[in-house]
């Protein structure tokens, strides 16, 4: 036990080094964003001030930022975990929706259970639904060989429409475009109940769950045989099979675990934030944001936590920027630029090129190369 | 290589000059405002709007609401603030953020009902305005519409236009607010044309044009030649069906004549959301802001909150004259338009020639 905590520490040190490049990329993209805001005829200083205060201006804002962060960490972990097995889980969105609906059912139908047990069951129901939803995609990939991207996109649509159907029929609150509320015993504890600082925010214990899940994901991936196998399949399925690893089983397993994370995110959204499920007019976007979060976090659980915080702050600071008269699209563009810079490894490539050039020059100077 | 370095440096300098250029205008307005907090030209009124995920540019609710707010802002000489929600579960924090920075926060649509209740409690010292739903809080002013009155008028138009004496109604979801359209429309049809029959169908959705088209085509097979829809985006399908099968469609909320390629939108029943938002801001500016369910405002024909529009020029002058007579009768109370199915049953059609 202590052994792997130590290793986690040393890997954290390594991550610090790994973080430098994305961090530089983020700084560059913020500069690019500033130029963009300036081009729109607004002051970048006002814009970033609004972004900062909107996301972290007071305890309530921090609380709200963490509410979004919780969801993003979980969907980010979901995408990252599947990615480690070489799978592109674009279906996190659908798994998130199914998790939300399943938690709604458990939160309502099983009322009467003692509080803590009921919350746990509610969240587990959400996770399980997400796991099954992703498991179908994994099973299809393993048994029939159909591509997980296409299948999971389709499963997203099925999830959204199934959810809307259920919300408007069996779970419907009469004359409303949303479901009824879950039982009080199924609700996650909110910080507002004990801390007056968070009075106006919906910050709930889900953030702690998300952090624990990130550690679990790290443990599974790096400290278990199963995790090793999953990563091996991700690196090279053929070589793994040759090495005696059951590729199909690991594909299904990775998808199911990935779906558990997204489903849990949906469950937490129901049990901690909304207490009900809305009739969706379009995708919530949390699953798709998870892809960005995973990419910027380099598909590493710890990186996902950090990028989850970054994206949470961007999303919650965005409204304040809008109130200051900056179009909502600009916030989206800044997010896009960050992903572009980080995912393209722009800084690392530039630094490496610079170093190579220096070496060549030194060699030329010495007369070793002509 | 040195060339590259120099060009990079140059680019960096250019970027930096950009910053110095933009830092100044930012500091200037901020500086004096901080030094003298009670600036004399500081606007007395401050208000803003939070949109749903549809946002500005939906050519419907949000655009119309913003038009009314913008108009009020220009008259009062202030700049209204705008916050477009990107996620459905962010309505509460977004209303809160807006309430923190302005006195009056506006939102449109029944989707805001729950969030509005929470925010009104949290920011009890701030004012809120909500359109199309009633929130019973002392600091929330609610405005709804008498959709049945506007629907009555298009019902008259439909009743006098139909040749087959079969008319269709396509509703979105069977909510009381949509039933208002249904009841008013049927009352209008029966008044103008007692022989006409109205087929009523609900799509069960507001966002599915295919479903709207399917229902409209089915109604057309049952000989309906004028179809009124109150089904949001499903209505686009209804209008498409009208284009294909050559019958009349009646639009809703805004003038929808532009949706039809063959000018098959007979008329549109319009809801003046801009009038509603303008009314709330005006009340706030004139110190007549009244919260609570008891003071909720209902805008009807008389207040120009509802009506019909004829962007396609398909309503003849004689027909328009008849409709105006009905309008006058509603305004002076001769006709009380039913807003529920129960009221519709007891409603006695009034024929005006």
Say if B204 is an interface residue toward chain A (CB within 8 Å): yes
Give the chain A residue nearest B208 (alpha carbons).
A281
| Residues of chain B with C-beta less than 8 angstroms from the C-beta of A282 | 53
pLDDT given at position B7? 60
Give the chain B residue nearest A269 (alpha carbons).
B89
As a whole-number percent, the residues of chain B with pLDDT over 90 amount to 60
The CB-side HSE value for A132 (13 A sphere, CA atoms) comes to 10
**pTM confidence score:** 0.81
Q: Residues with Cβ < 8 Å from A203, sequence gap 6 or more?
A: A62, A63, A64, A66, A67, A190, A191, A192
The CB-side HSE value for A314 (13 A sphere, CA atoms) comes to 26
pLDDT given at position B86? 85
The three-class DSSP label of residue A194 is coil
Q: Which of B7-21, B64-78, B81-95 has the lowest mean pLDDT?
A: B7-21
Nearest Cα neighbor of A278 from A126, A186, A176 is: A176
Distances, alpha carbon A237 to alpha carbons A231, B90, B195, B296, in Å: 9, 42, 73, 66
Over residues B272-285, the pLDDT tens digits come to: 999 999 999 999 99
Examine the pLDDT at A330 and tell me if it is beyond 90: no
- The per-residue pLDDT of chain B, averaged, comes to 85
Yes or no, beta carbons of B26 and A43 under 8 Å apart: yes
Which of B33, B48, B82, B89 would you mutate first to test chain A, the one with the most A CBs within 10 A? B89
Nearest Cα neighbor of B71 from B308, B281, B302, B227 is: B281
**Residue of B1, B22, B88 with shortest CB distance to A44:** B22
pLDDT given at position A217? 96
Beta bridge partners of A62: none
Give the chain A residue nearest B113 (alpha carbons).
A176
Helix ranges restricted to H, chain A: 2-39, 44-56, 59-84, 92-109, 115-143, 148-168, 206-223, 225-235, 237-242, 247-268, 286-296, 301-323, 328-343, 346-366
Q: Which of B19-33, B194-208, B252-266 has the lowest mean pLDDT?
A: B19-33
Domains of chain B from N-terminus onward? 47-146+274-299 (3.40.50.2300), 148-270+307-346 (3.40.50.2300)
The three-class DSSP label of residue A275 is coil
Over residues B195-229, the pLDDT tens digits come to: 999 999 998 877 788 999 999 999 999 999 999 99
| Residues of chain A with C-beta less than 8 angstroms from the C-beta of B173 | 168, 177
Say if B87 is an interface residue toward chain A (CB within 8 Å): yes
Say if B176 is an interface residue toward chain A (CB within 8 Å): yes
**Residue of B18, B53, B97 with shortest CB distance to A35:** B18
Task: Determine the distance in angstroms separating the CA of A370 from the nearest CA of chain B, rounded to an integer.
Answer: 16
Task: Write down the residue that tokens 């830092």 correspond to.
Answer: B23
Number of A–B residue contacts, CB under 8 Å: 87
Distance between start and end Cα atoms, chain B: 89
pLDDT given at position B3? 60
Examine the pLDDT at B1 and tell me if it is beyond 70: no
Examine the pLDDT at A335 and tell me if it is beyond 80: no
pLDDT given at position B254? 85
| Residues of chain B with C-beta less than 8 angstroms from the C-beta of A64 | 93
List the structure tokens of A329.
């699209």
Starting from the edge strand earliest in sequence, which strands make up the sheet with B81-84, in order? Answer: B81-84, B47-51, B104-108, B127-131, B140-145, B297-299
For residues A335 and A79, the model is more confident at A79
A172, A178, A181, A187 alpha-carbon torsion, rounded to 10°: 140
pLDDT given at position A269? 96
What average pLDDT does this structure show over A265-284?
91
Give the chain B residue nearest A168 (alpha carbons).
B204
Yes or no, beta carbons of A322 and B83 under 8 Å apart: yes
Chain B, 67 to 86: residues with Cβ < 8 Å from chain A are 79, 81-86
Examine the pLDDT at A150 and tell me if it is beyond 90: yes
Task: Determine the distance in angstroms separating the CA of B83 from the nearest CA of chain A, rounded to an integer.
Answer: 5
Other beta carbons within 10 Å of B190? 22
| Residues of chain B with C-beta less than 8 angstroms from the C-beta of A199 | 122
List the structure tokens of B242.
């009208």
**Residue of A178, A201, A285 with shortest CB distance to B87:** A285
pLDDT given at position B6? 60
Which of B12, B88, B209 would you mutate first to test chain A, the one with the most A CBs within 10 A? B88
**Residue of B1, B82, B97 with shortest CB distance to A54:** B97
Task: Determine the distance in angstroms separating the CA of B307 from the nearest CA of chain A, rounded to an integer.
Answer: 25
Examine the pLDDT at B323 and tell me if it is beyond 60: yes
Beta bridge partners of B170: B201, B229
| Residues of chain B with C-beta less than 8 angstroms from the C-beta of A286 | 87
What average pLDDT does this structure show over A96-116?
94
Say if B24 is an interface residue toward chain A (CB within 8 Å): no
Distances, alpha carbon A214 to alpha carbons A70, A99, A207, B150, in Å: 11, 18, 11, 56
Over residues A157-210, the pLDDT tens digits come to: 999 999 999 998 899 888 777 899 999 999 999 998 899 888 888 999 999 999
- Rounded to 5 degrees, what are φ and ψ at B134? -110, 125
DSSP B260-317: -TT--EEEEEEE-HHHHHHHHHHHHHTT----SGGG-EEE-TTTTSEEEE-TT--S-H
Instruction: Measure the CA–CA gap between B256 and B253, rounded to whole angstroms.
Output: 8
Say if A281 is an interface residue toward chain B (CB within 8 Å): yes
> Contact, B98 vs B81, CB < 8 A?
yes
Of the pLDDT bands very low, low, confident and very high (cuts 50, 70, 90), residue B62 is confident
As a whole-number percent, the residues of chain A with pLDDT over 70 amount to 98
The three-class DSSP label of residue B132 is coil
Q: Residues with Cβ < 8 Å from A18, sequence gap 6 or more?
A: A298, A300, A303
What average pLDDT does this structure show over A66-79?
96
Q: Which of A26-40, A293-307, A308-322, B1-15 has the lowest mean pLDDT?
A: B1-15
Among A141-155, A331-345, B39-53, the range of highest mean pLDDT: A141-155
Instruction: Measure the CA–CA gap between A45 and A37, rounded to whole angstroms.
Output: 9
Q: Residues with Cβ < 8 Å from B284, sequence gap 6 or more?
A: B45, B47, B103, B104, B127, B129, B141
Say if A270 is an interface residue toward chain B (CB within 8 Å): no
Instruction: Measure the CA–CA gap between A335 and A30, rounded to whole angstroms.
Output: 9
ipTM over 0.95: no
Yes or no, beta carbons of B26 and A45 under 8 Å apart: yes
Examine the pLDDT at A211 and tell me if it is beyond 80: yes
Task: Determine the distance in angstroms separating the CA of B22 from the nearest CA of chain A, rounded to an integer.
Answer: 6
Instruction: Measure the CA–CA gap between B61 and B133, rounded to whole angstroms.
Output: 13
Over residues B127-173, the pLDDT tens digits come to: 999 998 899 999 999 999 999 999 999 999 999 999 999 999 999 88
Yes or no, beta carbons of A323 and B173 under 8 Å apart: no
Q: Residues with Cβ < 8 Å from B306, sequence gap 6 or more?
A: B145, B146, B147, B149, B150, B269, B270, B271, B272, B299, B300
| Residues of chain A with C-beta less than 8 angstroms from the C-beta of B84 | 322, 328
Residue A179, class by beta-carbon neighbours within 10 Å (0-12 exposed, 13-18 middle, 19+ buried)? buried
List the structure tokens of A266.
């949906």
Domains of chain A from N-terminus onward? 1-42+326-370 (no CATH), 64-313 (1.10.3470)
Task: Determine the distance in angstroms separating the CA of B46 from the nearest CA of chain A, rounded to an integer.
Answer: 12
Give the chain A residue nearest B24 (alpha carbons).
A43
Yes or no, beta carbons of A201 and B93 under 8 Å apart: yes
Over residues B89-122, the pLDDT tens digits come to: 889 999 999 998 899 999 988 788 889 999 999 9
Going by DSSP bridges, is the β-strand pair B226-230/B248-253 parallel, antiparallel, or unpaired? Answer: parallel
Say if A56 is an interface residue toward chain B (CB within 8 Å): no
> Contact, A163 vs A97, CB < 8 A?
yes
> Contact, A264 vs A119, CB < 8 A?
no
What average pLDDT does this structure show over B36-58?
72
pLDDT given at position A370? 55
Q: How distant is the alpha carbon of residue A266 from its chain centre?
A: 11
């Amino acid at each position: 036990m202590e052994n792997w905590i130590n290793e986690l520490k040393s890997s954290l040190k390594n991550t610090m080094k790994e973080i430098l490049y994305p961090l530089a990329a983020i700084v560059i993209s913020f500069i690019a964003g500033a130029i963009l805001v300036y081009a729109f005829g607004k002051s970048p200083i006002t814009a970033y001030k609004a972004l900062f205060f909107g996301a972290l201006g007071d305890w309530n804002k921090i609380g709200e930022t963490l509410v979004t962060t919780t969801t993003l960490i979980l969907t980010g972990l979901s995408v990252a975990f599947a990615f480690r097995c070489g799978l592109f889980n674009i279906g996190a969105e659908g798994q998130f929706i199914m998790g939300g609906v399943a938690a709604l059912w458990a939160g309502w139908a099983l009322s009467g259970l003692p509080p803590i047990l009921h919350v746990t069951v509610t969240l587990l129901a959400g996770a399980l639904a997400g796991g099954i939803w992703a498991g179908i995609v994994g099973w299809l990939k393993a048994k029939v060989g159909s591509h997980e991207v296409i299948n999971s996109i389709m499963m997203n649509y099925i999830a959204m429409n199934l959810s809307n159907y259920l919300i408007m029929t069996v779970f419907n609150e009469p004359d409303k475009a949303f479901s009824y509320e879950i039982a009080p015993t199924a609700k996650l504890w909110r910080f507002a109940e004990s801390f007056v600082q968070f009075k106006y925010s919906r910050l709930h214990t889900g953030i702690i769950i998300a952090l624990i899940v990130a550690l679990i994901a790290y443990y599974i991936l790096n400290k278990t045989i199963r995790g090793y196998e999953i990563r091996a399949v991700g690196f090279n399925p053929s070589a793994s099979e040759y090495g005696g690893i059951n590729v199909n089983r690991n594909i299904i397993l990775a998808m199911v675990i990935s779906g558990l994370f997204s489903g849990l995110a949906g469950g937490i959204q129901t049990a901690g934030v909304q207490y009900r499920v809305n009739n969706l007019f379009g995708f919530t976007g949390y699953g798709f944001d998870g892809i960005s979060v995973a990419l910027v976090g380099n598909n590493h659980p710890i990186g996902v936590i950090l990028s989850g915080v970054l994206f949470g702050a961007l999303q919650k600071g965005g409204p304040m920027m809008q109130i200051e008269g900056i179009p909502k699209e600009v916030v989206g563009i800044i997010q896009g630029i960050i992903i572009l810079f980080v995912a393209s490894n722009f800084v690392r490539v530039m630094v490496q090129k610079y170093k190579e050039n220096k070496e060549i020059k030194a060699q030329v100077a010495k007369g070793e190369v002509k | 290589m040195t060339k590259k370095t120099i060009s990079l440096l140059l680019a960096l300098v250019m970027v930096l000059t950009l910053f110095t250029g933009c830092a100044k205008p930012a500091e200037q307005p901020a500086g004096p405002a901080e030094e003298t907090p009670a600036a004399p030209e500081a606007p007395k009124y401050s208000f803003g709007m939070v949109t749903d995920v549809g946002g500005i540019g939906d050519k419907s609710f949000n655009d119309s609401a913003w038009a009314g707010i913008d108009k009020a802002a220009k008259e009062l000489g202030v700049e209204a603030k705008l916050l477009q929600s990107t996620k459905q579960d962010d309505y509460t924090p977004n209303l809160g953020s807006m309430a923190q920075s302005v006195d009056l926060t506006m939102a449109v649509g029944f989707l805001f009902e729950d969030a509005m209740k929470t925010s009104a409690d949290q920011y009890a010292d701030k004012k809120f305005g909500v359109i199309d739903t009633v929130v019973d809080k002392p600091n929330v002013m609610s405005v709804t519409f008498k959709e049945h009155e506007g629907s009555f008028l298009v019902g008259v138009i439909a009743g006098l236009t139909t040749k087959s004496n079969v008319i269709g109604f396509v509703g979105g979801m069977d909510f009381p607010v949509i039933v208002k359209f249904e009841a008013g429309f049927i009352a209008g049809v029966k008044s103008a044309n007692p022989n006409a029959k109205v087929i009523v169908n609900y799509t069960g959705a507001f966002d599915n044009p295919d479903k709207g088209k399917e229902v409209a085509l089915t109604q057309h097979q049952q000989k309906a030649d004028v179809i009124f829809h109150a089904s949001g985006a499903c209505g686009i399908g209804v209008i498409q069906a009208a284009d294909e099968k050559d019958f009349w469609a009646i639009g809703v909320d805004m003038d929808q004549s532009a949706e039809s390629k063959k000018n098959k939108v007979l008329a549109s029943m319009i809801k003046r959301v801009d009038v509603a938002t303008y009314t709330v801001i005006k009340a706030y500016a004139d110190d007549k802001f009244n919260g609570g369910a008891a003071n909720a405002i209902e805008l009807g024909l008389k207040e120009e909150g509802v009506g019909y529009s004829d962007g396609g020029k398909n309503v003849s002058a004689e027909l328009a004259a008849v409709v105006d007579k009905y309008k006058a009768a509603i305004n002076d109370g001769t006709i009380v338009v039913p807003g529920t199915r129960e009221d519709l049953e007891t409603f006695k059609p009034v024929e005006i020639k």
